[in-house]
Amino acid sequence: MLRLELYKIFRRPRTYISFLIMTAVTLLIQVAMYVDGTSFVSFAMQGVGEQFAISGNILNGYLVTYLVLQSLLVHIPLLVALVAGDVLAGEANMGTMRLLLTKPVTRNNVVLVKYIASIAYAMLLLVWLAVVGLGLSLLVFGTGDMINLKSDAFIMLLENDIMWRYMLAFAFAGLAMATVAALAVFLSVFADNSIGPIIGTMGVIVVLTIFSNLEIPLFNLVKPYLFTTHMIAWKGFFDDPVPYDAIMKSVMVLVVYIVLFISATMVIFNRKDIQS
């Protein structure tokens, strides 16, 4: 059944539009860095640059990829929701849901298989991002040591100490996108039209990201429990030392959210009367 779901997903033009959009945005960032990256780097490093002379290949492929990831991990949830939000609602909208459910497949199986297919799509999107983002950036901008600017720290990572961090960062990003997919599938069960779940998913992520980032004491109480707070844990792999304990905690939180979303989807879908 998984092969069938993947077949359906990859026979739809909108799937390839997602890859195109991601490629275009990545290339735009790379072109911008190529043309004006030096001023950007100087601007970003003003605080440190006043006190230290920093030279060498700062604007290398690793830094550019980090910038690509930083911006795209806001956009990729939308591209993931485009497919995941459609898996149940889209079938209801097309009317194929009733034909699908008259076949000898359990509803739990339907939810699980569609969710796994959404994750597979999201992983492929990230692999493509790795190729276009990391691969192309290294080709164009070369390699070198990487600088990571945090709000209260300046971190430098040596060239031979970076690739494994990217592998783990992409792996974690996969888990983060799996959480987005779970949310989108959950919202998809309530709708007969995929627009609602897609917009709903993005709305939830935008609102919760605001909660996660605003430094307000009241929000600080809920932050540790929001999945958006933990979705950016991939950045921890570019810290020194890598906060493995905190990252593992983020992994657990995201896994719990995935289990909750998908379990709830199954319960609701099993009880639902298919009237579309």
Partner 1 sequence: MIRKLKSGLVLVMMFCSLAANAQQDTATALFEKLRTRLDVIKDYVADVRIKIDVSFMKVPPLSGKLYFKAPDKMKLERNGGISILPKKNINLTLNSMFPVGGVTVIDAGTDVVNGKAVRIIKVVPEGESDIILTKIWVDEQRNLALRTETTTRDNGTVKMDLAFDKHIKQGLPDKVTVHLDVKEYKLPKGVTMDYDANERVRAADKGDKKNKKGKIEINYINYEVNKGLPDKIFAEKD
Partner 2 sequence: MANIVEVQGLSKSFGGFKAVDDLSFSICKGDIYGFLGQNGAGKSTTIRMLLGLIHPDAGEIFINGANFRNNRKRSLQQIGAIVERPDLYGYLSAWDNLKIFAKLSRKHIPDVRIEEVLDIVGLRGREHDKVKAYSQGMKQRLGIAISLVHDPELLVLDEPTNGLDPQGIAEMRELVRTLGTQMGKTILISSHLLYEMEQVATNMLIIHKGKKIVEGKVSELLNPNETLFEVRILPDDAIAEKLETKGWGQYMEESNSSELVFRMHPRKMPGLNKFLVEQDVHVLEIKSRHSLEAYFLSLTNQANAEAGAI
Where on the chain is the footprint of partner 2 (CB under 8 A)? 1, 4, 7-8, 11-13, 94-96, 98-106, 271, 273-275
Cα 237 from chain centre: 16
Decide which of partner 1, partner 2, none touches 99; Cβ closer than 5 to 8 Å per partner kind.
partner 2
Cα–Cα distances (Å) from 151 to 13, 47, 155, 233, in that order, read 41, 11, 11, 15
CB nearer partner 1, residue 157 or residue 264:
157
Decide which of partner 1, partner 2, none touches 47; Cβ closer than 5 to 8 Å per partner kind.
partner 1
Q: Contacting partner 1 (CB under 8 A), which of 125, 232, 258, 262? A: 232
Provide the mask over 245-264, with x wherever binding to partner 1 is found by CB under 8 A and - wherever it is not: xxx-----------------
Three-state SS for 216? coil
Could you say which residues in the range 56-95 bind partner 1, by CB under 8 A?
Answer: 56-58, 70
Quick check: 54 and 45 in contact, CB under 8 A?
A: yes
Three-state SS for 226? coil
Place of tokens 């860095």: 33
149: contact with partner 1 by CB under 8 A: yes
Could you say which residues in the range 160-199 bind partner 1, by CB under 8 A?
Answer: 161
| Interatomic CA distance for residues 163 and 173, integer angstroms | 15
Helices (DSSP H) in 130-243: which residue ranges? 136-141, 163-188, 195-213, 217-222, 227-231
Q: Contacting partner 1 (CB under 8 A), which of 11, 39, 55, 103? A: 55
Place of tokens 């060498």: 56
CB nearer partner 1, residue 245 or residue 273:
245
CA 239-242-246 angle, to 5 degrees, is 110
236: contact with partner 1 by CB under 8 A: yes
C-beta of 171: minimal distance to partner 2 in Å? 32
Interface with partner 1 by CB under 8 A: which residues? 47-48, 50-58, 70, 142-145, 147, 149-159, 161, 213, 215, 232-236, 239-240, 243, 245-247
